[in-house]
Structure 1
Amino acid sequence: MAVFVLDKQKHPLMPCTEKRARLLLERGRAVVVRLAPFTIRLKDRIGGALQPLRLKLDPGSRVTGLALVRESETCDADTGAVERLEHGLWFGELAHRGQAIRETLGQRRHLRRARRSRKTRYRAARFLNRTRRTGWLPPSVQHRVESTVNWVKRLRRLAPITALSQELVRFDTQALQNPEISGVEYQQGELAGYEVREYLLEKWHRTCAYCSATGVPLEIEHIVPRSRGGSDRVSNLTLACRACNQRKGNQSIEDFLKRQPALLRQIQAQAQAPLQDAAAVNATRWALFAALKAQGLPVETGSGGRTKFNRSRLNLPKTHALDASCVGAVDQVRDWNRPVLAIRATGRGTYSRTRLDRFGFPRGYLIREKRVHGFQTGDWVRAEVPAGKRAGVHVGRVAVRRTGAFNIQTQDATVQGISYRHCRVLQRADGYGYAFQSKPDAEKARRAA
């Protein structure tokens, strides 16, 4: 993974390799600024030669892929055509916390309704005089836009980014449910266009509906066969491996799964349900595009079908980060087999110092000070425990306690009861948790092809 470099005045320079960063630190020419993403600052240099860098985004309702690439052009010796070549420098996957925000707002709504329904006091009726600004989005959806833009701004402070690319995904749930819809009836629905196959891959989690096989070629399967009057609507389509598709043939699904009634009910229910995250993607795509345009950089857009075509043509594994590298016009991608920084939005805690039960009454109180012995919940720490059943080195996100016995959430598990005396701060809390993922497997790339 490339290392971000800042000059003496904290202006971004071209990222360097890990080996070069290690040599600069050993020789005393640089100091560490951040650990995630790893950034150093030079002590003896101001300015330098820069090359065009492009930050590419693959927005999702739960995870957004980030890919920082260096652009160059090559000329084909045979045809003379100019090809767009991209060198992968840094990859990240940003996990949003929209679901947590939604659950918190739901809990607050239930508590408020419970208070209003009690007969302990009189509450005057609230008039419907509250208005929403133009372009308003629910907080759980607005969070996806703001967290993505926040990381675009962060990376711009760390690297000389000259252009942006965004996958402008559009789900057309109306046309998918009824391919023959048109006219006013279509205009009253959700207007967009998205490939049926990609929609089914997302809806059925890229697994065979009958045997739950993953990592194998999947075929579009008609739940009610066309020979029995089945249609091409997306509610009548699922995914199946070749063996299951051949074994089912033109049987009805009731006959095919008569010995598996639970699986039959599950498939029938999932077939009628729309893609869960389609509304979130539709709601945020233009808001995110407008926010990226406001950054003052040229923004390139690409469809989801083009992203999949580029990934299949280049024989790349299916990951959010590599999907981002395939957004837009791409001819070749090099140096894609790099570790990925997993970024998880955790928030900065809560202002409330009181824990409530399900009825809204206090059941516990938190400490007033967020720092305990110089540590705060969310700090990235390294704990070296010399003895005991927790002996060893633990690196992760800390949760402080008044007693000084902290909990450390590592990449694998949560270690409880670590004394603050054994902890050392690596990076202060910034509202995100970090972990490093291994390099994409080449075998996945072969299967994805």
Structure 2
Amino acid sequence: MAVLVLDKWKKPLMPCSEKRARLLLERGRARVHRMVPFTIRLVDRRAEDSVLQPVRLKIDPGSKTTGMALVRESETVDTATGEVSRRSVVLMLLELQHRGHAIRDALTQRRAFRRRRRTKLRYRAPRFLNRTRPAGWLAPSLQHRVDTTMTWVHRLCRWSPVTGLATMLHRFDTQALQNPDISGIEYQRGTLFGYEVREYLLEQWGRKCAYCDAEHVPLTIDHIHPRSRGGSDRVSNLTLSCVPCNQRKGNRDVAEFLAHDPKRLARIEAQRKAPLRDAAAVNSTRWAFWQQLAATVLDVEIGSGGRTKWNRKRLSVPKAHCLDAACVGRVDHLQGWQQPVLSIKATGRGSYQRTRLTKYGFPRGYLTRSKSAFGFQTGDLVRAVVTKGKKAGSYLGRVAIRASGSFNIQTGNGLVQGIHHRFCTLQQRADGYGYFWTKIASNQGEAGMGRSATAALSLPALKDGVSRAI
């Protein structure tokens, strides 16, 4: 795993190995610039005095997770055939986890609060004439995916000498995902051609209740994943249920309602069509993301999903978001991909909400107005060394502050509660992201959409300001 290097004027230099970074720090030739990702700043060198090699940042945009790979590229020419081959050496692997679902839920809750104020409190005239949207407008949960990805593109360009970008332009055929054999005029007819919604559901679910197999009883249309929890009105999210089962289920998710009957739950999930939310999100954001990449001064290479999969199969690389990014575009040889992955989770920078609510919407606790306590704020990366007691040990992770001075630390191995502030040492200020390390799984099988072949690890131990390899 490479260490990012800056010169004395904070201009990017070629990344170096951990051993070399440790020697530079011990000899006083470098300072720690940033802990995660670990970056050092040289005190005796300028970028003009260094030789830089071509470095390309490759990106695999996704709905929930976006993979990134920082690779060093070199081209060799075969003297016998004259063929030019491109060799890529992976310097760093990253996976960015988006929080679009949290933004969507927050906006849904805000809409419910506004609706309640409009109906229960003083009269508020509905607004419907002042909501014009500019061309290229995206929903906030979708715009977040573009913005956070571009944020890390700009960050990595500041910390490493990136000379080019590479991305994959996804295009999902949503009807082919539901029906692989669709062709011709069936594209225009759609799913409900010749059927009403109820008649379509009666044929799909065999004219019986999906939860208890009751027949010859009044059946109602039920949402498998409730709308109050983000479910949609698509036919793939509808089923038939009898009145007693519908009342018992309420607004619970089908996984919660059928937790005692996993076989029936698996059958329902297999019978219904797969949700297309992730594919729709990627289709909606792909051109907006491409336009922002094209606006940079860097060369942008475009790759297709088919070529990425062909590269991964040919090079015997397991399925993962970050490794998909490393295989984007033209790749003849790939080295150095067996290394830890830096997982970056978008956590946000807090909330304006002043209270915590119960499931019924009533306040159950009030938050303090001060965002910091004892020199710390929620989201800071801290190291806690507890010398005695039940929680004796060393912990590294994101901190959640309390005015009482008893903090919680979210580490790679779980949540540690009740750590006193005097044991904590600040490592890095909060920047809206949480960091932890993962490793590439050893299996070579294909992972499903939205899954990654990585396993969580704790943050590596730090010694003399340099992160150890896992």
Determine if the TM-score, normalized by the shorter chain, exceeds 0.5.
yes
Q: Structure 1: how far apart are the matches of 2:105 and 2:278?
A: 16
Amino acid at match of 1:349: G
How far is 1:12 from its partner? 0.4
How far is 1:266 from its partner? 2.9
Map Cα deviations across residues 276-308 of structure 1 (whole Å, 9 max, x no partner): 311101001111000111122111111111111
Map Cα deviations across residues 141-188 of structure 1 (whole Å, 9 max, x no partner): 1100000000000000000101000011110113443755447x8589
1:290 corresponds to: 291
Q: Structure 1: how far apart are the matches of 2:430 and 2:147?
A: 18
How far is 1:133 from its partner? 1.1
How far is 1:114 from its partner? 1.6
Call closer, same or farther: CA 1:360–1:128 in 2, change over 3 Å.
farther
Q: Structure 2: how far apart are the matches of 1:263 and 1:125?
A: 43
1:267 matched to 2:270? The reply is: yes
- Preserved contact between residue 344 and residue 436 of structure 2 (Cα < 8 Å): yes
- Preserved contact between residue 63 and residue 94 of structure 1 (Cα < 8 Å): yes
- Secondary structure (helix, strand or coil) at the match of 1:393 reads strand
1:124 corresponds to: 125
Call closer, same or farther: CA 1:69–1:178 in 2, change over 3 Å.
closer
- Secondary structure (helix, strand or coil) at the match of 1:311 reads helix
2:55 corresponds to: 53
Give the alignment of 1:178-217 within 5 angstroms.
179-182=181-184, 186=187
1:112 corresponds to: 114
Amino acid at match of 1:30: A
1:415 corresponds to: 416
Amino acid at match of 1:128: L
Call closer, same or farther: CA 1:121–1:294 in 2, change over 3 Å.
same
- Secondary structure (helix, strand or coil) at the match of 1:369 reads coil
1:444 corresponds to: 443
- Secondary structure (helix, strand or coil) at the match of 2:328 reads coil
How far is 1:396 from its partner? 0.6
2:99 corresponds to: 97
- Secondary structure (helix, strand or coil) at the match of 1:162 reads strand
1:318 matched to 2:319? The reply is: yes
TM-score by length of 2: 0.76
Give the alignment of 1:20-419 within 5 angstroms.
20-47=20-47, 48-76=50-78, 79-118=81-120, 120-176=121-177, 177=179, 179-182=181-184, 186=187, 262-269=265-272, 272-357=273-358, 361-419=362-420
1:7 corresponds to: 7
Map Cα deviations across residues 11-70 of structure 1 (whole Å, 9 max, x no partner): 000000111000000000000011111100001111111111000001110010010001
- Secondary structure (helix, strand or coil) at the match of 1:277 reads helix
Amino acid at match of 2:267: L
- Secondary structure (helix, strand or coil) at the match of 2:277 reads coil
Amino acid at match of 1:444: N
- Secondary structure (helix, strand or coil) at the match of 1:403 reads coil
- Preserved contact between residue 169 and residue 303 of structure 1 (Cα < 8 Å): yes
Amino acid at match of 2:155: R
How far is 1:127 from its partner? 3.8
1:210 corresponds to: none
Q: Structure 2: how far apart are the matches of 1:126 and 1:67?
A: 45
How far is 1:347 from its partner? 0.5
Q: Structure 1: how far apart are the matches of 2:189 and 2:19?
A: 58
How far is 1:353 from its partner? 2.8
Q: Structure 1: how far apart are the matches of 2:106 and 2:395?
A: 31
- Secondary structure (helix, strand or coil) at the match of 2:172 reads coil
- Secondary structure (helix, strand or coil) at the match of 1:425 reads strand
Call closer, same or farther: CA 1:187–1:6 in 2, change over 3 Å.
farther
- Preserved contact between residue 319 and residue 446 of structure 2 (Cα < 8 Å): no
- Preserved contact between residue 319 and residue 445 of structure 2 (Cα < 8 Å): no
2:458 corresponds to: none
Call closer, same or farther: CA 1:348–1:188 in 2, change over 3 Å.
farther
Q: Structure 2: how far apart are the matches of 1:123 and 1:355?
A: 26
| Range 294-303 or range 156-165, more displaced | 294-303
Map Cα deviations across residues 386-420 of structure 1 (whole Å, 9 max, x no partner): 11111111111000000000000111111111110
Q: Structure 2: how far apart are the matches of 1:33 and 1:26?
A: 15
Call closer, same or farther: CA 1:311–1:127 in 2, change over 3 Å.
closer
* Aligned Cα root-mean-square deviation (Å): 2.2
How far is 1:361 from its partner? 4.8
Amino acid at match of 2:150: V
Q: Structure 1: how far apart are the matches of 2:405 and 2:265?
A: 50
Q: Structure 1: how far apart are the matches of 2:115 and 2:36?
A: 42
1:213 corresponds to: none
- Preserved contact between residue 70 and residue 87 of structure 1 (Cα < 8 Å): yes
Call closer, same or farther: CA 1:134–1:159 in 2, change over 3 Å.
same
Amino acid at match of 1:27: R
Amino acid at match of 1:45: R
Call closer, same or farther: CA 1:156–1:375 in 2, change over 3 Å.
same
Q: Structure 2: how far apart are the matches of 1:135 and 1:188?
A: 28
Structure 1, gaps ≥5 residues long: 190-234, 236-259
How far is 1:320 from its partner? 0.9
Amino acid at match of 1:85: R
How far is 1:273 from its partner? 3.2
- Preserved contact between residue 111 and residue 359 of structure 1 (Cα < 8 Å): no
- Secondary structure (helix, strand or coil) at the match of 1:280 reads helix
TM-score by length of 1: 0.79
Call closer, same or farther: CA 1:114–1:327 in 2, change over 3 Å.
same
How far is 1:447 from its partner? 8.5
Q: Structure 2: how far apart are the matches of 1:290 and 1:19?
A: 39
